[in-house]
Structure 1
Amino acid sequence: MAAVAGATAAGVCLAVGSASAGTISGPLYRDPTSAVVRWVAANPGDSRAAVIRDKIASQPQARWFANFNISTAQSEAAAYVDAANAAQQIPVLSVYQITNRDCGGASAGGAPDLNQYQSWVSNFSRGLGNRTVIIILETDSLALLTCLNSNEINARNQAISTATRTIKSANPNAKVYLDAGHSTWNSAGETANRLRAAGVQYADGFFSNVSNYNPTSSEANFGRAVISSLNGMGISGKRQVIDTSRNGGASGDWCGDDNTDRRIGMYPTTNTGDSNIDAYLWVKPPGEADGCRYTAGSFQPDLAFSLANGVPNPPTTAPPTTPPPTTAPPTTPPPTTPPPTTPPPTTTPPPTGNGCSASVALNQWSGGFTASVTVTAGSADINGWTVTITLPSGAAVTGVWNAQASGTSGTVRYTNVGYNGHVGAGQSTNFGFQGTGTGPGATASCAAA
C-alpha cells in the first residue's frame, strides 16, 4: 500500500543546530540521483519541467528500500547514508521489506519469511553509520493486518520490535518510527495498542499519512490522541512524523494516479514548531505512481506536474514557527541618530569575466532567521558556483533549498544543484537557507566552477 519502485501503495545525518520543537533539527537530505531529479535533467525543454524542478525536485524526499536482497542491504544503505553525511544532511530511509507486506495486494513483496527479514535488517543496519538518520519502518505493517491470523500478527509484532532494537543498537542516533496508518483508518486507541504490541517503547515514535492525503491538521490531532493513549499505557516521550508529500489538496480515495485535485502539502522540514511532531516529510515521492493507471513506483511527470501546478514555490523567507515575543515596546523613543549612509557590504564585488557575485537578504525573528541568496554571473556564462557564507557566532543552519550545503555554522559553503549550476552572463539564480541564532552580519562570496 506504499507505492514505491517495484511496489505500490494504497491505504494508506547529522543533527545540527538546536531543536525546533521536536527532537530532530537540521537540513534533510535531497538526493541528487532521485527519479524526479533525473527526469528534470533529461527533459529541460519539457513545458512541465520548471514547475517540477522548482517545487518537487528541489526538495528532500525519502529513499525507499523495497527490493529484497540480503547481500546488498548493507552497501545500499551505506551508499545513501554516506552521501547524506557528506552533505551534512539528514537522510530519510523508508524500509519496506516485511513478510506478506500489503497483504499480498498491489505492493506485495518483501522478505520471504521473518527469519530472512531479520537477516536483511541486520545487514541494512550495519550500513547506517553513527549519525542521525530517520527510519520509516514498514508502512502499513501495523495498520493493515486483515490478512494475518493471531499467530502471524504476534510474529510480525515481534519482528518489528526486534528490527527496531537492531537498528538502534547499530546506530544509537537513528530515529525510528513505526506505522500508525492515518487519521481516517484505525482509531487512535487501536493504533496505540498496535504500536505498543510492536515495541514502540524501543522506537522514537510513529509516522502517519504515508502515501495518503489527509490534511496535516487532521494528522496532528490524530497524533496527539495516539500519544495521549500511549501515555496512558505508561509509554511516554513518543513523537510523530507526518507525510505531507501530497496532502495539500483533496482527500478521500487513496489512489492518486487519476485524481487531478491532489496537491503537494507542506515542504519537508524538521522545523515543525510542534513539540509532538519531529518532522514533516515527503515519504511518498510526489509524482511516483500508486499502480492504478501507471506502474507502481514509476515516476510520471504528469502526476508530478498536477501535484505541483499552482502551488507556491518553497519560501525564500519563512515566518517564525513560534509567536513573536510579547514584550511591550520601549517607553522611550529610539535614538534619532541617523543610520549610516552606506550599509556594510553583504555582496562580493561585481564580477568580471567568468566570475559571480552573491548577495544575501535576511529575515530575522526572535531566535531564528531565513536567508535568500542571489547568485549573479559576470560578463560570461558560468557552469557551476560555490557561495561561501560566514555566519555570526552562535548562528547555525537548520535547512536549505536549491543548493547543497557543506557545514552548518561558522563558514558554510553552498554549491549548486544540477538544475541551477548554469547561469547566463549577467543573469541570476537563487537559493535559500534557514537557521537559529542571529543572521544579520553574515557575509558572502562567490566562486564560479
Structure 2
Amino acid sequence: MPSSTKIWAIAAAAAGTLVPVATAMRLGWAQATLVPSRIEWGLSSLVPTMIPVIAVIAGLLLIRWWSWLLAAGTLLCLPMTAALFLPSLAGHTSVYSFAQAGGALVLVAVLGAAQELMTQGERAWAATIAGSAVGAGVVAAALLGATWLRSDPGLAYVAAVPALLAVMAAVLAVVLHPGAAAFRPSARLTVLGSLAALLAFVPALATPERISSVLDISLDSLGRRPYILVAVIGLAILAAAALLAAITGPWSGPSTAGAALVQVGVVVPLLLTSASVAYHPWYGTLTALAGFAAGCAAGASRWRTQLAVTGGVLCALLLLLALAATGGDPEKVVSAAWIPGGLLLALLVATVTCTVASCAEPAAARGGLPAVLGPIAGALVIGGRYVSPLTQLDGGEPSSGRLGGSGHLEISAGLLLAAALVVAGLGLAATWHRSRSQAQPGQERP
C-alpha cells in the first residue's frame, strides 16, 4: 500500500472513531448506541428528522468525495461541543439535529473510504475501517456508561478533545485525498440506501390515531400499552428495511442482516455490563478500548470470519451462563461482579467490531458498502430495537427499570448466535464461490 494511502486511511478511521465518542458524551446513551430510546409523533418531529435524512442521502449521492463528507460531518458535530462553553446553544433543537446528521454523515463517509480501499484490493484495511466505524458507536456507549447510576459532571467536557482531534483527522484526509474516489457505486444500491434513510419518517407519520384506526383498537387501550405503539412502528420499519436488504443482492443482503443482528443483540448486554462498571469508570474505559483494539486487530486478520463467529458464540454462551448462575436475575452482576462485567464488555465491543468487519467484503459488491452497512443496516437495527420489548414481557407487561430487559438475556444470546451463523454462512459461501471461480473465471467476487 502506498504510504499516502495508508495515511488517509488512518485519518478516515480516526475521524470515524472520534466523532461518535465526542457526540455520544453530549447526546446520551440512545444516540451512542444508534438506537432511539423514544419516539416523537406528529409533524413537529419532521424538521428535526429531516436534517439527518438529508445528510445521509446527500452522503450516498456524493460518496465518491467521501473525504469532504467526512469533514462536513465533523463540522456539523461541532455546535454540540460548542454548547459546552456556550450554554445558550444547548436550547436549540437544531444543534442536536445537526449532531445526529454529522454522526450519520461521518459513518457513511468512513464506509466510503472502506469501499475505496476494497476497490484497490486492500481488503484487510477496508474491513478494519468498516468495523471500526460501527464499533466506535459501541465504544462511545460504553464510555458514556450507566449515567442513571453515576454521572461524572466533567465527562461532557472531555468530549471537546476527541471532537477537535476528529476535525484534524478529517482535514488531513481532505488534504491527502481531495479528489473523487475511483469506485462508482451502483445507482440501484444508492436508491435503496436513500429509501432506507427515509424510513426515519415512519414515526412522524404513523401517529397513535392512525395506528388505532388500522388495528381497530381504542386509543385508551393503546395508551395503557405504549410499547405496542412502538412495536408496530418497529415492525413497519423492520419489514421495509428487510425488503430493501433482500433486494440489494445475494451477498449484500446477508451481510446487512449479520451486521444488524449483532448490533441489536448487544444492546441489553451493553446496558448490563456498563452498569456493572459504573463505579469503576477507568476500568470500564480501559476494557472498552481494549475490546475495540482487539476487534480492529481481528478485523484486519485473514481469520476475521472465524474470529467473529467465535466471538458471537462465546458471547452468547456467557450470557446464558450469567442467566443461569444468577437464578434468572443477571442484575446481580451489577453489584457483585464488576471485573467479569468489564471483561464481558470488552468481548462484546470486540465481537461487534469484528463481525461488521467480516460483513464488509461481501457488502462491497458494486460499490454498495456505504449504503448497505450504513442506512439499510441502521434501519434494521432501529426496527429490531423497537420490536425487542415484545420479547421481554413479564406477565404480559414490559419489564420496568433501566435494566428491565436483562432478565431476558436468552433473546440477546439468540441474536448473537444468529449473527454468528450468518457470518459463518457468508464465509463458507465465499470459500465455495472462490473455488468455483477458479474453474469459471469472470464471476462476481464477493
Please give the TM-score of this superposition, normalised by the length of structure 2: 0.21
Give the number of the structure with larger relative contact order, counting CA–CA contacts within 8 Å between residues 6 or more apart: 2
Q: Higher helix proportion, which one?
A: 2
Larger Rg: 1
